[in-house]
Structure 1
Amino acid sequence: MLSVREISENIEQETLAPWAAKSSQAVRDSEEAADDLRTAFQRDRDRIIHSTPFRKLKHKTQVYLCPGDHYRTRLTHSMEVSQIARTIARALRLNEDLTEAAALGHDLGHTPFGHAGERAINSYTGHFKHNEQSLRVVELYGRKGKGLNLTREVRDAIVNHTGSTMPKTLEGQVVRRCDRIAYLCHDFDDGCKVGIIGPEKLPGIVAMRLGTEPSQILDVLVHNIVELSLNQPQIIIDKYYEEAVEEFRNFMFDYIYCSPQLTVEHNKAEHVVRTLMDLYMESPQLLPREYGELADRFGLKQTVVDFVGGLTDAGAVQLFNKHYIPII
């Protein structure tokens, strides 16, 4: 009698597109006994969701520092990427479980205070990329130091969701596309709520080709990707829309990501992160015991990067206050 997992794997073979990733062919670096209920990609998704780094995302900045209850965090961003990517994957008959796992795990290596924290650690070490740190997190942390032992397909999609290398699977390429679509639309939406920008400031090419509302822009882009990529072994977007997306991104950097309103707070955040890096490099005995023990395995600087990079916004501020602000 077939197990539930085997039935699911057979359904994949019968219903998914020929070029979709099949969970029965997934590979782990350390082989494990198959689960009776879940496919390999479903197990990866569950391991990510139940991991400590995933829970921490709810207290990590997306763009706006401490903006209130109704703005995106790194967690809600990951969930939104997952929803958009799953919609596309299902429409294209790709592996929805692989897509979901990669989307939920793609930002696990993000620092406190979003890209401000990333810049701080990068300036300190000379090289730090959150996508590479996401891969490091899933490979080396969790499950008592054994790492999550995710499939190669999910790990490839996580590390290549940004950067110069494209993911090997179409599912990973969908996540890569949806990450950009999601953060542009939702950061724009939050920027309007904060009052930094409004739809009237959008470049003409963006307003004309994509629209002026985040939901409208998402709808246009998702439909275009599905229409052009359907029954094709590649993920395609019309150049007409891609040009508008690139202009949208340039606009967001000019008006949001590099705006004077945010730069002031981001500079403060970078100072907190750099100061904590200095503190633990000079006084490694202050590291939590489990991280102190890892210094022999990874070296002190890498261990400090892993610890500080894994902090939430609030956790970083609390440690800064503990060591540098007098108690009144």
Structure 2
Amino acid sequence: MTIREQTQKIQRETLSQYACLSDHSRGREYSQEECPIRTCFARDRDRIIHCKSFRRLMHKTQVFLSPEGDHYRTRLTHTLEVNQIAKTLAVALRLNEELTEAIALGHDLGHTPFGHAGERALRDVCPHGFRHSEQSVRVVEKIENDGRGLNLTWEVRNGIGCHSYSNPSPEGKAKTWEGQIVYFADKIAYLNHDIDDALRGEILQEEDIPWEIKYSLGRTKSQRITTLIKSIIDSSKTQVMMDDQAARAFDQLNSFMYEAVYRNPVAKSEEGKAIGVVKSLYEYYVQHPQEMPQEYRRIIETSDVPRAVCDYISGMSDRFAVTTYERLYVPRSWGY
């Protein structure tokens, strides 16, 4: 037996009946010879970690635009925290860790520069619309690897596309338990680390957090995350879920964060400028598509200019978007 086959045998013998076994995968869009060492999901995880879109996450906004300080979250650190929480759930529920990791690490590959402000800007101007979960799937299917994509398994692509199914989505809930725990891990991660960043940025004070949330979930980030994780582990008997008390407190925390942080005029003071940058770049490249890199000009041949421009801009890091905007629109000093 190869190492991969030994791993698959261990999975069959030890994982839950609700786990997605790697040797039961629906497969890839294009068939490939199996790796003798890694399972198909481990191979997907590695492809995501080594792709360009993953590296760019380190320079993409999570909540605070270009924050001063080394300890604020970026889209990459958010992804790593989602992965850690999702893996904790996968181990406890005896689900497939490799599939869980691949979905968690790839879930935000299609996110725009400037966080959700950039997402709203592209949704406003692009006739195809824009949702970052759908774009993440597009990245791994159509954009990475010079347009050939990463050729990931169906289960990983499904989990990535369904990680934010609270928004209207034709896919709805992920078909695997691994995909569903990433959905919860994403929200557990961002609500709690955004509190941490908001406290650091003095957008929030500890006493601002409602007493009911502290009573139900805990006073610290660690306590809240532990409470929510334990609730999912204890409640997920035939479906992935939280108990009623934790779910109510979680919804209350979500509502509180939207009012106190996500719509806070201080925290969002630069969002108008960010939206202006994204929309201006979109307008420019729709009129000058020949100035985009070859890998995006190639998209025009199979789709259209707006689709190619949307793909190009959504892949930009914050600083590259700002630098490009300055090059195109800000006058430079004349010298001779």
TM-score range, shorter chain: over 0.9
The Cα offsets for residues 273-294 of structure 1, whole Å up to 9 and x where unpaired, read as: 0000000011112212332232
The Cα offsets for residues 239-273 of structure 1, whole Å up to 9 and x where unpaired, read as: 10111111111111111111101232111100000
User: What's the TM-score once normalised by structure 2's chain length?
Assistant: 0.95
- Is 2:203–2:267's contact at 8 Å kept on the other side of the alignment? no
Q: Which amino acid aligns with 2:158?
A: D
Distance 2:184 2:164 in 1: 9
Distance 1:298 1:74 in 2: 28
Cα 1:12–1:175 shift into 2, 3 Å: same
The structural deviation recorded for 1:204 is 2.5
The structural deviation recorded for 1:18 is 1.4
Distance 1:148 1:23 in 2: 17
Q: Which amino acid aligns with 1:143?
A: N
User: What's the TM-score once normalised by structure 1's chain length?
Assistant: 0.97
Which position in structure 2 is the counterpart of 1:220? Answer: 227
Distance 1:141 1:262 in 2: 32
Asked if 1:69 is matched to 2:67, the reply is no
The Cα offsets for residues 109-134 of structure 1, whole Å up to 9 and x where unpaired, read as: 00000001000001112521000000
Which position in structure 2 is the counterpart of 1:105? Answer: 106
Distance 1:263 1:64 in 2: 8
Which secondary structure state, in structure 1, belongs to the residue aligned with residue 30 of structure 2?
coil
- Is 1:276–1:308's contact at 8 Å kept on the other side of the alignment? yes
Structure 1 residue runs of 4+, over 3 Å off? none
Bigger shift: 261-270 or 77-86? 261-270
The structural deviation recorded for 1:234 is 1.6
Which secondary structure state, in structure 2, belongs to the residue aligned with residue 221 of structure 1?
helix
Bigger shift: 283-292 or 211-220? 283-292
Which position in structure 1 is the counterpart of 2:12? Answer: 13
Bigger shift: 284-293 or 68-77? 284-293
Which secondary structure state, in structure 2, belongs to the residue aligned with residue 262 of structure 1?
coil
Which position in structure 2 is the counterpart of 1:288? Answer: 293
Distance 1:280 1:144 in 2: 20
Distance 1:142 1:123 in 2: 25
The structural deviation recorded for 1:228 is 2.0
The structural deviation recorded for 1:212 is 2.4
- Is 1:203–1:247's contact at 8 Å kept on the other side of the alignment? no
Which position in structure 1 is the counterpart of 2:283? Answer: 278
Asked if 1:187 is matched to 2:194, the reply is yes
Which position in structure 1 is the counterpart of 2:126? Answer: 125
The Cα offsets for residues 136-155 of structure 1, whole Å up to 9 and x where unpaired, read as: 11111222321111111111
Asked if 1:151 is matched to 2:153, the reply is yes
For structure 1, which runs of at least 5 residues remain unmatched after alignment? none
- Is 2:82–2:182's contact at 8 Å kept on the other side of the alignment? yes
* Number of matched pairs: 325
The structural deviation recorded for 1:158 is 0.3
Which position in structure 2 is the counterpart of 1:40? Answer: 40
- Is 1:112–1:309's contact at 8 Å kept on the other side of the alignment? yes
1:1-328 to 2 correspondences below 5 Å:
2-26=1-25, 27-67=27-67, 68-125=69-126, 127-163=129-165, 164=168, 165-229=172-236, 232-328=237-333
- Is 1:160–1:166's contact at 8 Å kept on the other side of the alignment? yes
Q: Which amino acid aligns with 1:104?
A: L
Q: Which amino acid aligns with 1:12?
A: Q
- Is 2:106–2:136's contact at 8 Å kept on the other side of the alignment? yes
Which secondary structure state, in structure 1, belongs to the residue aligned with residue 186 of structure 2?
helix
RMSD: 1.0
Q: Identical aligned pairs, as a percentage?
A: 45
- Is 2:217–2:227's contact at 8 Å kept on the other side of the alignment? yes
Q: Which amino acid aligns with 1:205?
A: E
- Is 1:210–1:220's contact at 8 Å kept on the other side of the alignment? yes
The structural deviation recorded for 1:38 is 0.2
The structural deviation recorded for 1:9 is 0.4
Distance 1:153 1:185 in 2: 28
The Cα offsets for residues 143-193 of structure 1, whole Å up to 9 and x where unpaired, read as: 232111111111110000012411000010000011011000001110000
- Is 2:64–2:268's contact at 8 Å kept on the other side of the alignment? no
Distance 1:124 1:206 in 2: 38
Distance 2:146 2:269 in 1: 39
Cα 1:136–1:110 shift into 2, 3 Å: same
Which secondary structure state, in structure 1, belongs to the residue aligned with residue 258 of structure 2?
helix
The structural deviation recorded for 1:327 is 1.5
